[in-house]
Amino acid sequence: MNVVGGDGLMESGALDLVVGVDLGGTNTSVGVVDDSGKLLLQSKFPTRPRESAAGFVARLAAVIHEMTRRLAPGATLRGIGIASPAANGLRGTIESPANLGWGTVNIIAMVRQHFSLPVAITNDANAALLGEQMFGIARGMKNVIMLTLGTGLGAGIAVDGKILQGENGAAGEFGHMTLDPQGRVCGCGRRGCVETYVSASGLRRTVLDLLAERLDESPLRSISFNDLTAETVSRLAKDGDALALEALTITGRHLGRLVADLAAAFDPEAVVLYGGLVNAGEFLVGPARQAFEQHAMKIHRGNVRMLVSSLNNGEAAVLGAGCLVRDLLTGVEAA
Ligand SMILES: [Zn+2]
């Protein structure tokens, strides 16, 4: 178990602490967060896609217990907030997550078997949005959309200051809007979903298409599909590799058109980009801004900011999950 941080615990005198958990398809991040949004302790462990939900929760509980042992005297944990894909914040469940063979589980009840603390859950993109609104680049924004560009494409939407949930807690599944009805097969069982193009895995598929269509040399030709990552593509783009640059440009253009459509639907002040794919920086965001300006309605051109998250990668959802349970404790309607 690898818990880091804690040096500031004694002098900070922080007593009012919550735990934020970002349950990802590959890794899970856990943090102890004070009321100013400072991460005092952090830990990360592999999620293990084939493990049962009960096995996962037992490992999570062990990490939180270890963190509890490191708290300064007098400091107590007041609650646990969880950010997860396929989370239903209205029911407290995780429902058939695509990357984990869990089916539907009541994660709140399972975590409460280990801790007699309030536990809250929301979808990972909503948590990232909350974290960004409280402590990041979207601070104070009431109409803002967060796009999380990782293995898939998730979104959190704040409209008039309230996070949109929908009837089933499933609002904001933009990743599964159709970009091309005859396009790539998606994990959801349909074809041509946006996330099969605009995500880290979509970028890899675009690289594969370009390798088949073009003949120019590129280091990408000697990397197997399984070893290919979005980070590699970004690094090669920085080195000037034409194929890597083209793959990011195509991905960025799709992203910009998506944002133009979202602006038409929600009229946001800004769209915040978050997640591993965003590390490509201007190679992705530049073409996205260009495509946005070409495709957006006149009222939105030059008027909707496309921003990159100001929080460290992986922190926004942990911080947001912490905010969520704080809201629960103070009686604010949970998002
Ligand atoms: Zn889909």
Per-residue pLDDT of 140-169, as tens digits, reads 999 999 999 988 899 999 999 999 988 887
Question: What is the distance in A from the centroid of ligand 1 to the CA of 96?
Answer: 14
Question: What is the distance in A from the centroid of ligand 1 to the CA of 180?
Answer: 11
Question: What is the distance in A from the centroid of ligand 1 to the CA of 183?
Answer: 11
φ, ψ of residue 96 in degrees (nearest 5): 45, 60
Mean model confidence pLDDT for the chain = 91
Question: What is the distance in A from the centroid of ligand 1 to the CA of 192?
Answer: 7
3-state secondary structure 154-206: EEEEEECCEECCCCCCCCCCHHHCECCCCCCECCCCCECEHHHCCCHHHHHHH
Dihedral sign for Cα 123, 128, 133, 135, please.
positive
Question: What is the distance in A from the centroid of ligand 1 to the CA of 38?
Answer: 36
CA nearest neighbour of 274 among 160, 135, 162, 129: 129
Question: What is the distance in A from the centroid of ligand 1 to the CA of 33?
Answer: 34
Q: How many CA atoms lie within 13 A of 288 on its CB side?
A: 26
Question: What is the distance in A from the centroid of ligand 1 to the CA of 178?
Answer: 8
Question: What is the distance in A from the centroid of ligand 1 to the CA of 191?
Answer: 7
Rounded Cα distance, 274 and 284, in Å = 12
pTM for the complete prediction?
0.85
Q: What is the pLDDT of residue 13?
A: 52
Highest mean pLDDT among 123-132, 159-168, 290-299: 290-299
- Tell me how far CA of residue 14 lies from CA of 31, 172, 325, in angstroms: 14, 35, 17
Per-residue pLDDT of 177-215, as tens digits, reads 999 999 999 988 999 999 999 999 999 999 999 999 999
Contact 84, 57 (CB under 8 A): no
Burial class (CB in 10 A: 0-12, 13-18, 19+), 12: middle
Question: What is the distance in A from the centroid of ligand 1 to the CA of 15?
Answer: 44
Rounded Cα distance, 38 and 30, in Å = 13
Task: Report every protein residue that has its C-beta within 5 angstroms of ion ligand 1.
Answer: 176, 186, 188, 193
In three-state secondary structure terms, 104 is: strand
Question: What is the distance in A from the centroid of ligand 1 to the CA of 37?
Answer: 34
Burial class (CB in 10 A: 0-12, 13-18, 19+), 183: middle
